[in-house]
Amino acid sequence: MPQQPIRWQQPWPAARHPISEGKLMSDHQQENDYLLSSLIAMAESGASMGITLHINGTIITGNLISQKQYAEGVVNSLREPMENAFKMHSDSILDAFSRVGEMPNGRPSEEGGPIQFEFIHLSEAKLFAGTNLIPTDDGVLWRGKLTSVDGFSFGRLS
């Protein structure tokens, strides 16, 4: 099946870009880092890229994905266990999880500023705890609050 072209929407209207208005980055990082928000906007449009996050001293590395891709991955991971444990209700439970992928990941900010994304999603995520890598296999799906991210770097650690 041919891939559909990636449609990217800026997280802010061009005329309202923080730099074009001569504002300091710190004025716009109170809720979300606008550079990281731009990467999330790209992921929400279908792009995926390696990223490493720093959150309260923990390092998390993986592939940045959209909320929809995250929800689809969760449903795929839960399908068999849910069907085994909750035969009568598995479809409705899985449907509720899949609807998360259709929900918006954030809200427009006031006065036409950048979109305020709420969550960041990773596939094949691994956490570094000291010198230990958790998990040691292919990684997991991961979802975190964007406002909890202290810093990030491009690419994945191995």
Q: Is the pLDDT of residue 19 over 50?
A: no
Asked if residue 40 has pLDDT above 70, the reply is yes
When pLDDT is averaged across residues 121-138 and rounded to a whole number, the result is: 85
Distance CA 56, CA 78 (A): 29
pLDDT exceeds cutoff 90 at 152: yes
Please state the rounded mean pLDDT for residues 42-54: 92
Residue-wise pLDDT for 50-71, tens only, equals 999 999 889 999 999 998 999 8
Q: Which residue has the tokens 């720093």?
A: 54
Is the dihedral angle over the CA atoms 5, 155, 69, 39 positive or is it negative? negative
pLDDT at site 3:
52
More confident call, 112 vs 66: 66
How far is Cα 79 from Cα 73, in angstroms, rounded to an integer? Answer: 10
Which two tokens mark 59?
């390092």
SS3 39: helix
- Residue-level pLDDT at 15: 45
Q: pLDDT at position 107, please?
A: 74
What is residue 129's predicted lDDT score, i.e. its pLDDT?
A: 80
What single-letter amino acid sits at 115? I
Q: How confident is the model at residue 77 (pLDDT cuts 50, 70, 90)?
A: confident
> What is the band of 112 on the pLDDT scale with cuts at 50, 70, 90?
low
Q: Are 18 and 34 in contact (CB under 8 A)?
A: yes
With a CB cutoff of 8 Å and minimum separation 6, the contacts of 106 are 115, 116, 117, 118, 119
Which one is predicted more confidently, 69 or 84?
69
Q: What is the 3-state secondary structure (H, E, C) of 74-128?
A: HHHHHHHHHHHHCCCCHHHHHHHHHHHHHCCCCEECHHHCCEECCEEEEEEEEEE
Query: Interior CA angle at 120 toward 111 and 67, to 5°?
Result: 90
